[in-house]
C-alpha cells in the first residue's frame, strides 16, 4: 500500500510568514550590502539574560558531578519549577496543584500538540491572529470558524454572535499581533459560553507580563474557568528564553470533556512523546519566577514596552491609524492609502530600510495592516521613528 501524505499541508501557505520576510530582506541586503536595516519585524527578544540568571544556569551544569548527574528530566517538569509556577499563580489568588502544571519547551509547540487530545473538532479562531492556531488546525483537518476583528469590534473576539455549539476556542490576550487585551468581563463571557456549550478554551497568555492595566493575566481569575480552560504560558517573551526554550501549560484536573480528564490525557501524551526540558533551563526558569528574577525580567519587559510606546507615539503623530494599547510589545497599524500589507512592507524596506511584518501573515483579515515589534534595539527604534516622520500622510 502506498504511503499517503497529509494533504492538509496543501491548505496552508507554502512558507511561514517569517521565512518569506527573511527571503525578502536577504535579497535586499544582497543588492544593498552597505545598508543597515532597522529590524522591527520578528517578535524575538534582543536583551541579554541577567548575570544572576546565567550564573544559576552555569552552576546547575557545573554542579552535576557523577554523584548528582542528571539524565533525562521528568517528562512533565521538575517539581521545583512546578512549585515555582503554582506559587506565581498564588500571587494572583489562583490555586493550582503541581499536577495541573506541565513544563514544556515552548508555547508554540503546545498550541499545536494540544490538538492530539481531540478529534474532528470545530475550532474558533480570531483573524488576524498568531498563525500557529489556524495552521495547526488546518493540518489536523479540523473545521475552523474564523472571526474577524478590527476597529468595529475593538479588535476583540467575543462570543456575542457565535452560534451555540461545542468548540475549541483559541484566545490570546494580550493578542499577537494586535495587542488587544481581554478584560475581566470579556473573559467572563467566554467562560460562561464555554461552560454552557461544553466548549474548551485554549488561553494563550504568552504576553501576560506586558499587561499594565487591570486586565487578567490568567483566565483562571474567572470563576469556574478551570472546568473549561487550558492555559499556555511561556518564558520566551517574559524572561528572554526564546533560545533556551521553556514554557508551561496548565491543564487543571477539573478540565474534562464528558468523563474524560484532559489532564490525564495530556500527561499520557507528554510522557509518550516528550522527554522534558533540560535541568539547567528549568533552574533558570525557576529563578525567573523568584522575587529577584521577576524584577530583573520586568526591566527587560519595560525596555520592550518603551520601544513599542515610542513607535506608537510617532506613528500616531504621523497620522497612522494605530491600535492604542499599552499592554503589548507590538504596534498594529492600518497601512496608509490603499497599500496592501506586502506593498507597505516593500515600501518600508526599500525606501525607509525598516523591516516590519505584513498583517496578512496573521490571516486574511490582516490584509491592509502592518505589525511593528518593540523587541528590537532602542537605537533602531529611534532611527525608525525619524524615518516614520518622513512618512507623514
Residue 233, strand partner residues: 248
Partners of 101 in the β-ladder: 250
- Contact status: 108 vs ligand PLP (CB under 6 A): yes
CB of 161 to ligand PLP, least distance (A): 24
DSSP string across 275-332: ----HHHHHHHHHHTSHHHHHHHHHHHHHHHHHHHHHHHHHHHTT--B---SS-SEEE
Name residues contacting ligand PLP, limited to 228-267 (CB under 6 A): 234, 236, 242, 247
Among 75, 100, 127, 204, binds ligand PLP (CB under 6 A): 204
User: Which lies closer to ligand PLP via its Cβ, residue 108 or residue 361?
Assistant: 108
Interaction between residue 172 and ligand PLP (CB under 6 A): yes
Sign of CA dihedral 301, 359, 16, 18: negative
* Spatial separation of the C-alpha atoms in residues 28 and 167, rounded to whole Å: 43
- Grid coordinates of 33: 550590502
Name the minimum Å distance from CB 247 to ligand PLP.
Answer: 4
Tell me if 218 contacts ligand PLP by CB under 6 A. Answer: no
Does residue 199 touch ligand PLP according to CB under 6 A?
no
Work out which of 73, 77, 106, 359 binds ligand PLP, going by CB under 6 A.
106
CB 17 within 8 A of CB 361: yes
Is 107 a binding residue for ligand PLP by CB under 6 A? The answer is yes
Question: Looking at beta carbons only, is 341 or 373 nearer to ligand PLP?
Answer: 373
Q: Which of 136, 137, 142, 176 binds ligand PLP (CB under 6 A)?
A: 176
Beta carbons of 61 and 68 less than 8 angstroms apart? no
Residue nearer to ligand PLP on the CB measure, 109 or 388: 109
* Pairing relationship of beta strands 101-104 and 260-261 according to DSSP bridges: unpaired
Q: Give the cell for residue 199.
A: 466548549
Of 106 and 293, which has the nearer Cβ to ligand PLP?
A: 106
Question: Is residue 222 within 8 Å of residue 248, measured between CB atoms?
Answer: no
Number of chain positions touching ligand PLP (CB under 6 A): 13
Binding residues for ligand PLP, rule: CB under 6 A, are: 43, 106-108, 130, 172, 176, 204, 206, 234, 236, 242, 247
Amino acid at each position: 500500500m502506498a504511503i499517503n501524505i497529509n494533504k492538509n499541508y496543501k491548505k496552508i501557505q507554502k512558507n511561514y510568514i517569517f521565512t518569506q520576510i527573511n527571503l525578502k530582506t536577504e535579497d535586499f541586503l544582497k543588492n544593498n550590502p552597505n545598508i543597515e536595516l532597522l529590524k522591527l519585524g520578528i517578535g524575538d527578544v534582543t536583551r541579554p539574560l541577567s548575570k544572576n540568571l546565567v550564573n544559576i544556569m552555569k552552576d546547575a551544569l557545573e554542579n552535576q558531578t557523577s554523584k548528582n548527574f542528571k539524565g533525562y528530566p521528568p517528562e512533565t517538569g521538575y517539581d521545583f519549577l512546578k512549585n515555582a509556577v503554582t506559587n506565581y499563580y498564588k500571587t494572583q489568588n489562583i490555586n493550582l496543584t503541581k499536577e495541573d502544571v506541565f513544563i514544556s519547551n515552548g508555547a508554540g509547540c503546545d498550541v499545536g500538540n494540544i490538538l492530539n487530545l481531540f478529534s474532528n473538532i470545530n475550532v474558533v479562531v480570531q483573524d488576524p491572529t498568531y498563525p500557529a492556531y489556524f495552521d495547526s488546525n488546518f493540518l489536523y483537518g479540523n473545521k475552523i470558524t474564523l472571526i474577524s476583528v478590527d476597529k468595529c469590534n475593538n479588535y476583540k473576539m467575543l462570543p456575542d454572535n457565535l452560534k451555540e455549539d461545542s468548540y475549541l476556542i483559541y484566545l490570546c490576550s494580550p493578542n499577537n499581533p494586535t495587542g488587544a487585551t481581554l478584560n475581566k468581563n470579556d473573559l467572563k463571557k467566554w467562560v460562561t459560553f464555554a461552560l454552557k456549550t461544553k466548549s474548551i478554551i485554549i488561553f494563550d497568555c504568552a504576553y501576560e507580563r506586558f499587561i499594565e492595566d487591570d486586565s487578567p493575566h490568567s483566565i483562571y481569575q474567572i470563576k469556574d474557568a478551570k472546568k473549561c480552560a487550558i492555559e499556555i504560558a511561556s518564558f520566551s517573551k517574559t524572561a528572554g528564553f526564546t533560545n533556551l526554550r521553556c514554557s508551561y501549560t496548565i491543564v487543571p484536573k477539573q478540565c474534562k470533556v464528558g468523563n474524560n480528564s484532559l489532564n490525564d490525557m495530556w500527561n499520557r501524551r507528554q510522557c509518550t512523546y516528550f522527554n522534558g526540558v533540560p535541568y539547567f533551563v528549568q533552574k533558570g526558569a525557576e529563578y525567573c519566577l523568584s522575587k529577584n528574577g521577576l524584577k530583573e525580567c520586568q526591566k527587560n519587559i519595560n525596555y520592550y514596552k518603551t520601544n513599542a510606546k515610542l513607535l506608537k507615539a510617532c506613528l500616531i503623530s504621523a497620522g497612522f491609524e494605530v491600535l492604542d494599547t499599552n499592554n503589548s510589545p507590538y504596534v498594529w497599524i492600518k497601512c496608509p492609502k490603499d497599500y496592501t500589507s506586502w506593498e507597505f512592507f516593500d515600501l518600508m524596506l526599500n525606501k525607509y530600510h525598516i523591516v516590519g511584518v505584513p498583517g496578512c501573515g496573521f490571516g486574511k483579515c490582516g490584509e491592509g495592516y502592518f505589525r511593528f515589534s518593540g523587541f528590537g534595539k532602542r537605537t533602531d527604534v529611534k532611527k525608525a521613528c525619524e524615518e516614520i516622520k518622513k512618512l507623514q500622510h
